[in-house]
Amino acid sequence: MADPNISYPVELFVRHYDHGHRPSGGLTAAAFLDRDGVINNDGSYVNQVDDFDLLPGAAAAIRRLNEAGLPVVVITNQGGVAMEYMTVEDLDAVQDRMDEQLAAHGAHVDAVYGALAHPEGKVRALRKESLYRKPAAGMLYQASDDLGIDLETSSMVGDATTDIAAGKNAGCRTILVRTGFGGSDRRANAVPDVTVEDLSAAVEWILANRTDIV
């Protein structure tokens, strides 16, 4: 559930979970993860609950981040809402499915941010160029403000060049995975800091290169 004390724009879907990662003072590093093609569904879009399927090893990788004390924040473009391929209720149900499947493996995410707008959207209120839609960095900035995240010590993991561009725009370290698009989308001119096989390898890199702890 989104923070009831914060008013979010119509084009932003937000879920926060209370897993004890909201700092009382100072900033914390986080792992920002794209969803489709990184956590689930290797190369296909997810518009309904039955479309959702975790990628092998994804839950275990997220559990490693949980155990290391790094907040896990999903940063996902969901322009299918603007295009009327799905509704916000459908998106809610998909997120419920993700939560359930992760929990079955002892893993969880700490927040989800979804950009619902699309410049060619059929829903008038969502037909726009949005500062939240990747490659723009608005979702990462919002998460930083909401959760006290230090962007410079955080990492953005994605399968698309737009994910990498969003991470770069926010000042994060960036990791491209070969699952999903594997960078073949070519929708943004962005070069990742590192390219790895999948989310498990990305988490290995994140934990081996942490700069937020001594």
pTM: 0.94
Q: Select which of 3, 18, 34, 159 is catalytic.
A: 34
* 1 occurs within a structural domain: no
Number of helices and strands in the chain (H, E): 5, 7
* Per-residue pLDDT reduced to its tens digit, 168-214: 999 999 999 999 999 999 999 999 999 999 999 999 999 999 988 75
Res 1: pLDDT: 56
Give every CB contact of residue 158 below 8 A, 6+ residues apart in sequence: 33, 34, 37, 38, 164, 166, 167, 174, 175, 176, 177
Digit-coded pLDDT (tens) for 25-78: 678 999 999 999 999 997 778 999 999 999 999 999 999 999 999 999 999 999
Q: Which of 33, 50, 39, 31 is nearest to 180 (CA)?
A: 39
pLDDT exceeds cutoff 60 at 95:
yes
Q: Three-state SS for 41?
A: coil
Q: Of 36, 110, 146, 159, which residue is the catalytic one?
A: 36
Q: What is the mean pLDDT of residues 7-26?
A: 80
- Residue 196 is predicted with a pLDDT of 98
| Any domain includes 3 | no
What is the pLDDT at residue 24? 53
Look up the domain containing 41 and give its range: 12-208
23 has a pLDDT exceeding 70: no
Residue 22 pLDDT level (bands cut at 50, 70, 90): low
> How many domains are there within the chain?
1
Q: What mean pLDDT, rounded, does the chain reach?
A: 93
- Rounded Cα distance between 209 and 201, Å, is 12
Token pair recorded at residue 106? 């002892």
What is the share, in percent, of the chain residues with pLDDT greater than 70? 94
pLDDT at 49: 95
User: What is the reported pLDDT for 32?
Assistant: 98
Q: What is the pLDDT of residue 26?
A: 72
Domain annotation covers residue 4: no
Confirm whether 31 is domain-assigned: yes
Q: What is the pLDDT of residues 148-161, one digit of tens each?
A: 999 999 999 999 99
Q: How high is the pLDDT of residue 3?
A: 62
Q: Which long-range contacts (CB under 8 A, 24 or more apart) does 47-50 make?
A: 47/80, 47/85, 47/86, 47/90, 48/86, 48/90, 48/93, 48/94, 49/90, 49/93, 49/94, 49/96, 49/97
Q: Is 96 in the active site? A: no
Element (H or E) spanning 156, and its range? strand 155-158
Residue 36 designated active-site? yes
Q: How far apart are CA 44 and CA 159, in angstroms?
A: 12
Between CA 10 and CA 55 the distance in angstroms is: 30
Give whole-number Cα distances, 7 to 12, 13, 127, 186, in Å: 10, 11, 20, 34
Task: Tell me which amino acid residue 34 is.
Answer: D
| Within-domain flag for 5 | no
Evaluate whether residue 213 is within a structural domain. no
pLDDT, mean of residues 4-28: 79
Q: Identify whether 167 is part of a domain.
A: yes
The residue to which tokens 């990628």 are assigned: 55
Domain-embedded: residue 182 = yes
| Mean pLDDT computed over 76-87 | 97
Taking residues 78-99, what's their average pLDDT? 97
**Residue 49, domain CATH:** 3.40.50.1000
